[in-house]
């Protein structure tokens, strides 16, 4: 299907019996792709095979999606990765990109922004992408309104003040690691309607993930990272997910490959079990009204009885809803709106 840009993985599916690898396919017709959500695994080099080996040995309880192994990039694929990603997405396939080279992040950004006039991104990174100067490179896209980026898991002691200043200048948001750890569920609204996601493995703790270039001991526990991946997979808008920074030469025991395999597994789990329809149907929701005394305004909160997810309706904008949590509603009902919701209301 994409033979011009990729070559088959060295991992052979018959080696796995009644596991994930048994269900992985290497080709799919266009009509089949349209009928069921399809994930396409792409490695930028053969190091992705080490992750495939771990992934394909896991269980496969997924009945509502298919997994397509698109192989690893050829030289042409490396040179034209942005074009490849666009073609994969146009086919209706969700690419999960595995790359040791974090420079590829910008290829993913380019592909995503060329496919749509505006898109939302979530980036899990310990320094707001400072090591690849991500903020300065996406600044024109942010200023033009082409992309809206949210960061998760930045660590204050690693992130330069200049990066924080740029974040604020661009009116972007970030939840630092400590805030995420206090309540992991607050991450879910940030991921719920995301179009594209980027996960830098340097955001993981060294004890949980040794195959990374930096020596920083802090970061997410891998279980926390898997939960975030599940939130990302549950977005009905998700078009691409890139996992970056895996250094196979440092993975002597294979544990780091197993961690990435589980990140991918939980992304698929989110897609298979927790994904909702793109269009919100009010008749399936319960309305809760909160009176904001500081501006004498009634604000509608809505809860899905099926999933338990919450939204806030932006006053005066009936079709503009903001993903939120039960805690956001509870705090608002006591007159204490979260800073994130205040920021949204101030922009209106």
pLDDT tens-digit series, residues 217-229: 999 999 999 999 9
Assess if residue 1 is contained within a domain: no
Assess if residue 335 is contained within a domain: yes
* 145-180 CB burial, b ≥16 within 10 A, e <16: ebbbbbbbbbbeebbeeebbebbeebebbbbbbeeb
Instruction: Please list, in sequence order, all residues whose beta carbon lies within 8 angstroms of the beta carbon of residue 317, skipping any fewer than 6 positions away.
Output: 348
Range in 66-70, 108-112, 148-152, 314-318 the model is least confident about:
314-318
Are 204 and 336 contained in the same domain?
Answer: no
Which pTM value belongs to this model? 0.92
Residue 72 pLDDT more than 80? yes
The domain boundary, picked from 273, 301, 323, lies at: 273
Strand order in the sheet with 321-324: 285-292, 297-304, 310-313, 321-324
Are 81 and 215 contained in the same domain?
Answer: yes
Assess if residue 193 is contained within a domain: yes
**Which of the pair, 292 or 19, is modelled with greater confidence?**
19
Share of the chain above pLDDT 70, in %: 96
Are 165 and 185 contained in the same domain?
Answer: yes
Beta bridge partners of 181: none
Are 68 and 120 contained in the same domain?
Answer: yes
Are 237 and 192 contained in the same domain?
Answer: yes
pLDDT at 185: 92
Cβ–Cβ under 8 Å, residues 303 and 309:
yes
Residue 35 pLDDT more than 80? no
Confidence of residue 347 (pLDDT cuts 50, 70, 90): low
Q: Taking the alpha carbons of 171, 177, 178, 180 in that order, is the dihedral positive or negative?
A: positive
The domain boundary, picked from 273, 292, 316, lies at: 273
Question: What CATH number does residue 122 fall under?
Answer: 3.40.800.10
Are 337 and 210 contained in the same domain?
Answer: no
To which residue do tokens 């690693």 refer? 158
Question: pLDDT digits over 245-291, tens only?
Answer: 999 999 999 999 999 999 999 999 999 998 876 677 788 899 999 98
Cβ–Cβ under 8 Å, residues 92 and 240:
no
Cβ–Cβ under 8 Å, residues 242 and 200:
no
Question: pLDDT digits over 106-152, tens only?
Answer: 999 999 999 998 999 999 999 999 999 999 999 999 999 999 999 99
pLDDT at 14: 65
Task: Dump strand ranges (E) for the chain.
Answer: 6-7, 38-43, 66-73, 93-99, 119-124, 147-154, 173-176, 196-200, 240-244, 285-292, 297-304, 310-313, 321-324
Are 294 and 242 contained in the same domain?
Answer: no
Assess if residue 212 is contained within a domain: yes
| Total count of domains within the chain | 2
User: What secondary structure does DSSP assign to 58-98, as a single string?
Assistant: S-----S-EEEEEEEE-HHHHHTHHHHHHHHHHTTEEEEEE
Are 72 and 13 contained in the same domain?
Answer: yes
Cβ–Cβ under 8 Å, residues 313 and 320:
yes
Confidence of residue 294 (pLDDT cuts 50, 70, 90): low
The domain boundary, picked from 234, 251, 273, lies at: 273
Angle between helices 326-333 and 339-347 (to 10 degrees): 80
Domain that holds residue 116: 6-273
Assess if residue 156 is contained within a domain: yes
Are 240 and 309 contained in the same domain?
Answer: no
Between the ranges 10-14, 31-35, 42-46, 280-284, where is the mean pLDDT highest?
42-46
pLDDT at 98: 98
Are 298 and 239 contained in the same domain?
Answer: no
pLDDT at 277: 67
Question: pLDDT digits over 163-208, tens only?
Answer: 999 999 998 999 999 999 999 999 999 999 999 999 999 999 999 9
Identify the DSSP state of 251. Answer: -
Q: Are strands 297-304 and 285-292 parallel, antiparallel or unpaired?
A: antiparallel
The two three-digit tokens of residue 232, written as one number: 């990302």
The chain-wide mean pLDDT, for the chain, equals: 91
Q: Of 310, 236, 224, whose CA–CA distance to 272 is shortest?
A: 236
Are 262 and 192 contained in the same domain?
Answer: yes
Are 160 and 259 contained in the same domain?
Answer: yes
């Amino acid at each position: 299907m994409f033979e011009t840009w990729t070559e088959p993985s060295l991992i052979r599916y018959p080696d796995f019996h009644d596991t994930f690898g048994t269900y992985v396919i290497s080709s799919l017709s266009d009509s089949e792709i349209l009928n069921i959500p399809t994930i396409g695994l792409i490695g930028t080099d053969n190091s992705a095979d080490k992750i495939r080996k771990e992934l394909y040995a896991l269980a496969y309880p997924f009945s509502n999606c298919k997994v397509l192994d698109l192989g690893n990039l050829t030289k042409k694929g490396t040179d034209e990765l942005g074009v490849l990603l666009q073609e994969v997405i146009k086919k209706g396939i969700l690419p999960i990109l595995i790359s040791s080279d974090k420079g590829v992040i910008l290829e993913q950004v380019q592909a995503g922004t060329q496919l749509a006039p505006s898109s939302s991104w979530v980036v899990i990174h310990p320094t707001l992408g400072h090591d690849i100067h991500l903020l300065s490179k996406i600044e024109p896209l942010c200023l033009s309104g082409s992309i809206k980026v949210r960061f998760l898991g930045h660590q204050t002691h690693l992130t330069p003040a200049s990066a924080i200043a740029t974040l604020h200048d661009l009116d972007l948001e970030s939840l630092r690691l400590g805030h995420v750890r206090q309540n992991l569920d607050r991450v879910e609204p940030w991921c719920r309607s995301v179009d594209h996601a980027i996960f830098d493995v340097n955001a993981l703790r060294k004890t949980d993930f040794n195959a990374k270039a930096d020596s920083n001991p802090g970061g997410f526990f891998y279980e926390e990272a898997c939960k975030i991946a599940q939130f990302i997979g549950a977005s009905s808008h998700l078009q691409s997910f890139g996992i970056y920074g895996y250094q196979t030469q440092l993975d002597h025991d294979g544990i780091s490959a197993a961690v990435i395999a589980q990140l991918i597994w939980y992304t698929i789990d989110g897609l298979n079990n927790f994904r909702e329809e793109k269009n919100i149907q009010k008749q399936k929701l319960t309305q809760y009204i909160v009176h904001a005394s500081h501006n004498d305004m009634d604000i509608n909160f809505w809860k899905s009885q099926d999933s338990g997810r919450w939204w806030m309706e932006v006053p005066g904008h009936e079709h503009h809803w903001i993903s939120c949590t039960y805690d956001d509603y509870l705090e608002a009902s006591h007159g204490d709106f979260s800073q994130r919701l205040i920021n949204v209301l101030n922009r209106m």
